[in-house]
Structure 1
Amino acid sequence: MIANKIITLKKIAFTATASLLFVSCAEKKMANSNSEEFSSWKKMDVVIKSIPETKFSNTIYNINDFGAVADGKTLNTVAFQKAIQKCAVNGGGQVLVPNGKYLTGAIHLESNVNLHLEDNAEILFSFNPKDYPIVHTSWEGTEVMNYSPLIYAKNKTNIAITGKGTLNGQADSTNWWIWSGGKNYGWKKGIPSQNDPTNREVLVDMAEKGVPVAERVFGEGRYLRPNFIEFFECNKALIKDVKIINAPFWILHPIKTNNMIIDGVTINSHGPNNDGCDPEYSQNILIKNCIFNTGDDCIAIKSGRDADGRRVAIPSKNIIVQNCKMVDGHGGVVIGSEISAGVNNVFVENCVMDSPNLDRAIRIKTNSKRGGIIENIFVRNLEVGTVKECVLKLNMFYNVYGSQTGNFIPTIRNVSLENINVKNGGKYSVWAEGYAASPVENITLKNVKIQKVDSIYRLKNVKNINFINTYINDQKVKSIN
């Protein structure tokens, strides 16, 4: 009897000790998780502090002094060029665009130049392709010799576009947009477009075969629309306060560019492929206080398409989005689909996304032709009104241009959403699809509330999706290992 009591007491003691150990391990795991999350956001703060600010001489170069005419009809390309060159040769400063309407072709910036628009200044960009010389650029993630972006800088340092004036690409269904081949943008059978057999797919095929970029000469007769603003291999750049409308193609395109701030920019452009901002192969990019009302993704982080992305092999990383408003667009913040060199360390916080025409809030899209490692994506403090399809979509089977399969299985891991409120969640709260050999891994939704969604989730080959204090249609959701 006494022996039995001793055994029982030992069992109780063992059970208590085991329970304490279990609780201790659980608390330690939670503490480590919280610590990792905290350290990730601390890393964001470190990145922001590391981005150097642009600085310019106080000398002003007024484009009117170089022959510019503000009648909206006279082509001022040479006046812009002269003012920018004079500014650069003299050590830099501000190239001033006074109030009025100025028609121009391509504007090429130089180091230490701040292109500044007065409040009622409007730059009208010509829609004559001959006003855009052939330069080294990129088109949908593939490098090419093509029409110059409307505003272009290559290998420049300390450059800026500032002021509250307007940059008007003047694109519509009678000019640039019709090249897309989209029936909604004026295209009809028999009209040439980027989709013709000798155009887009030829460029992609050249990249797959390793044809040098200098030999990928497109331009006239190929119908590949120019980007609006492209900073190519630049360092220390700023775009602040300007309004951008009616873009031919992608709107803000930092490519192979480091240390750039995009602040207070308003974009309103609903043409084909009118992504708001596409950082590509770029690092330390801060996008804040902006409004995106676009015909495609509001922000789409890129790193090259297929073989060309693997050739360049520069991941986009340390991309920060703060205090922005996303209105229309295919996605609020998107990663991909041109993503072959990978993306990591993306931080999105304090944004508002709300439109019946916004398809998704956060999206990652890739496939086995693209490949890429996409990891460490942190999102917090979002207010989402309405999304059509889903709040979070992670897709390894993105397919929009015919067959998109290959031997480059992608990786998607470590995606965290915290403090998210959604009023109308669309079809799914989370839609995630991976491969059996490469599941979508380590997804966390913490303090997330989603209302009016048709289904809780759609999952295929997903490992470790954690729902912490998360409610969907007022029902608490359990984690899935």
Structure 2
Amino acid sequence: MRKLVGCVAIAVFLSASDLRAEESPGWDDVPTIVAAIEAPLIPDGDFPVTDHGAKPDGKTDCRQAIADAIRACHEAGGGRVVVPEGEWYCKGPIHLLSRVNLHLNKGATLQFSNDPDDFLPEVHTRFEGTEVMMWSPPIYAFEQHDIAITGEGVIDGGADDEHWWVWKRSGATDIKRLGEMGEKGVPVSERRFGGSQLRVNFVQPYRCERVLIEGITVHRSPMWCLNPVLCKNVTVRGVTVDSHGPNNDGCNPESCSGVLIEGCFFDTGDDCIAIKSGRNADGRRVGAPSENIVVRNCTMRDGHGGVVLGSEMSGGIRNVFVEDCEMDSPNLERAIRLKSNSMRGGYLRNMQVRNIRVGEVSDAVFRINLVYSEPESGPYPPAVSDVVLENVTAEKCKRPMHLVGLAESPIQGLTIKNCRFGGAKQASLIEHVADLKLEYYSQPEK
């Protein structure tokens, strides 16, 4: 174990990771990555939900009216399904179709039922990185293209300590049973959990192409808030997530390729942004990484982590770029976090972070933990390599860095450049890190 103490440390350790970094995209490639993320192709034309009988009284079930508007829009070749100002009650999920933009005007609220039975029949989804047939997410799309959710309105999942969130405590048996099915390779069609106590994620496009989520506000999600899965070309822009329930991660791209998250505000009950790619054997079976992801100009307040990789990352995560973000709250635990364990396998490779202002975090500014969550060891040690933090400043933290690798798979290729981590109560903790460069790194005295 090594601890970093003192005011300033300047060192250079060269290794094979320097050569690996040359093979991966860098900051000069980010404009190309962003330019390749295609926006949805959605024609002009509005389809108001009121034309199909929806009423904004907060009581009348508008689900069928919204579904009818979506179908009419889709069959006409696409356009905007417009939800005007008012409170619109949905007793069940909204399923998007190709070339449809669900647009919530300013002052509009989609208030979803919090009765799980309203979210049947089962759909093909993922729970914490394992594929399953279970309750539908409140807003869901399966194998569609050119879809969007836009506007200045609010989506409210209605979750609270008596609805959805209570299953955080009581759903352990179902979680274990699903995990065992994933490990045994039970076909997804036979993993039937429609009557279970597994919580749904709020907004989930699944196997979709060209997805836009822009401008909306998210409240009271049952579990993860925004969760594109196995999607290509995803843009999340100008979204506000204010949801403090258990596992209320703000935005979780999962096994997605080409993702831009920009100009968003996160105040959450779990990680603000968590990039994932499937869990354990089931994640390895699907084998789809999350890759080519850009996060920029976002603000993080409460949460377990600001930008996080893992812990469900068995399909691998690579080429993640984070810049120009602000992270500050006594209830924000870490700024940059990578988490996994030897049940996962997979890799976390080429994450580059720059120009991040951290006011206060309650734990470490930068944390990598490869013994996360599951106490038992497994035969699939994850590989972590080529992570660069540059121009990251922090004013207050428990410790600057908490870096714990595995003896059989030490962390490779970490670079901390021109960073200042101040106000630390404890020294950095470093275990099983084989390759670390500190360039003009400052840890001021307490």
TM over 0.5, shorter chain? yes
Number of the residue aligned with 1:466: 437
| Alignment counterpart, residue 217 of structure 2, candidates 231, 243, 261 | 243
* Pairs within 5 Å for 1:278-297: 278-297=252-271
Assess if the C-alpha contact under 8 Å between 1:85 and 1:110 holds in 2: yes
2:96 matches 1:109 = yes
- Any idea what the Cα deviations from partners look like across 1:303-325, whole Å, max 9, x if unmatched? 11100001001111111100000
Give distance in 1, aligned partners of 2:182 and 2:419.
42
Assess if the C-alpha contact under 8 Å between 1:225 and 1:248 holds in 2: yes
Give the C-alpha shift of residue 226 in structure 1. Answer: 1.0
2:46 matches 1:60 = yes
Number of the residue aligned with 1:84: 70
Seen in structure 2, the aligned counterparts of structure 1 residues 256 and 350 have a Cα distance that, compared at 3 Å, is same
Assess if the C-alpha contact under 8 Å between 2:104 and 2:151 holds in 1: yes
Larger RCO, structure (CA 8 Å, separation 6 or more): 2
Secondary structure of 2:166's match? helix
Assess if the C-alpha contact under 8 Å between 1:411 and 1:440 holds in 2: yes
Give the C-alpha shift of residue 38 in structure 1. Answer: 11
| Alignment counterpart, residue 382 of structure 2, candidates 410, 413, 438 | 410
2:19 matches 1:44 = no
Number of the residue aligned with 2:417: 446
Give distance in 1, aligned partners of 2:202 and 2:376.
28
Assess if the C-alpha contact under 8 Å between 2:371 and 2:406 holds in 1: no
Give distance in 2, aligned partners of 1:58 and 1:232.
25
Number of the residue aligned with 2:55: 69
Secondary structure of 1:177's match? coil
Secondary structure of 1:251's match? coil
Number of the residue aligned with 2:171: 194
Give the C-alpha shift of residue 204 in structure 1. Answer: 0.4
Secondary structure of 1:86's match? helix
Give distance in 1, aligned partners of 2:294 and 2:377.
31
Give distance in 1, aligned partners of 2:284 and 2:197.
26
| Alignment counterpart, residue 378 of structure 1, candidates 352, 358, 363 | 352
Number of the residue aligned with 1:178: 166
Assess if the C-alpha contact under 8 Å between 2:47 and 2:69 holds in 1: yes
* Pairs within 5 Å for 1:12-31: none
| Alignment counterpart, residue 369 of structure 1, candidates 332, 339, 343 | 343
Give distance in 2, aligned partners of 1:39 and 1:403.
35
TM, length-normalised to structure 1: 0.87
2:277 matches 1:303 = yes
Secondary structure of 1:225's match? coil
Number of the residue aligned with 1:342: 316
Seen in structure 2, the aligned counterparts of structure 1 residues 370 and 39 have a Cα distance that, compared at 3 Å, is closer
Q: In the alignment, residue 101 of structure 1 is paired with which amino acid?
A: E
Number of the residue aligned with 2:5: none
Number of the residue aligned with 2:140: 152
Q: In the alignment, residue 216 of structure 1 is paired with which amino acid?
A: R
Assess if the C-alpha contact under 8 Å between 2:159 and 2:220 holds in 1: yes
Matched pairs, number: 429
Secondary structure of 2:181's match? helix
Assess if the C-alpha contact under 8 Å between 1:59 and 1:94 holds in 2: yes
2:156 matches 1:168 = yes
Assess if the C-alpha contact under 8 Å between 1:169 and 1:228 holds in 2: yes
Q: In the alignment, residue 342 of structure 1 is paired with which amino acid?
A: G
- Any idea what the Cα deviations from partners look like across 1:424-456, whole Å, max 9, x if unmatched? 022x21111112231111111111011111233
Q: In the alignment, residue 194 of structure 1 is paired with which amino acid?
A: G
Give the C-alpha shift of residue 474 in structure 1. Answer: 5.3
Number of the residue aligned with 1:95: 81
TM, length-normalised to structure 2: 0.93
Seen in structure 2, the aligned counterparts of structure 1 residues 404 and 320 have a Cα distance that, compared at 3 Å, is farther
Secondary structure of 1:268's match? strand
Q: In the alignment, residue 371 of structure 1 is paired with which amino acid?
A: G
Q: In the alignment, residue 70 of structure 2 is paired with which amino acid?
A: I
Give distance in 1, aligned partners of 2:163 and 2:66.
24
Number of the residue aligned with 2:394: 422
Assess if the C-alpha contact under 8 Å between 1:144 and 1:217 holds in 2: yes
2:122 matches 1:130 = no
Q: In the alignment, residue 350 of structure 1 is paired with which amino acid?
A: D
Range with greater deviation from structure 2 (55-64 or 251-260): 55-64
Number of the residue aligned with 2:129: 141
Give distance in 2, aligned partners of 1:310 and 1:445.
31
Give the C-alpha shift of residue 373 in structure 1. Answer: 1.0
Bigger Rg over Cα: 1
Secondary structure of 1:256's match? coil
- Any idea what the Cα deviations from partners look like across 1:72-100, whole Å, max 9, x if unmatched? 01111110110000100110000000000
Unaligned runs of 5+ in 2: 1-11
Give the C-alpha shift of residue 398 in structure 1. Answer: 0.5
Secondary structure of 1:384's match? strand
Give distance in 2, aligned partners of 1:146 and 1:206.
14
Q: In the alignment, residue 46 of structure 2 is paired with which amino acid?
A: I
Give the C-alpha shift of residue 243 in structure 1. Answer: 0.5
Give the C-alpha shift of residue 39 in structure 1. Answer: 5.7
Give the C-alpha shift of residue 338 in structure 1. Answer: 0.6
- Any idea what the Cα deviations from partners look like across 1:27-57, whole Å, max 9, x if unmatched? x99xx89x95996012221110111122322
| Alignment counterpart, residue 182 of structure 2, candidates 202, 207, 210 | 207
Q: In the alignment, residue 54 of structure 1 is paired with which amino acid?
A: P
Secondary structure of 2:436's match? strand
Assess if the C-alpha contact under 8 Å between 1:398 and 1:404 holds in 2: no
Assess if the C-alpha contact under 8 Å between 1:367 and 1:404 holds in 2: no
Assess if the C-alpha contact under 8 Å between 2:256 and 2:290 holds in 1: yes
Give distance in 2, aligned partners of 1:259 and 1:293.
25
Assess if the C-alpha contact under 8 Å between 1:317 and 1:344 holds in 2: yes
Seen in structure 2, the aligned counterparts of structure 1 residues 38 and 365 have a Cα distance that, compared at 3 Å, is closer
Unaligned runs of 5+ in 1: 1-25, 182-192, 476-481
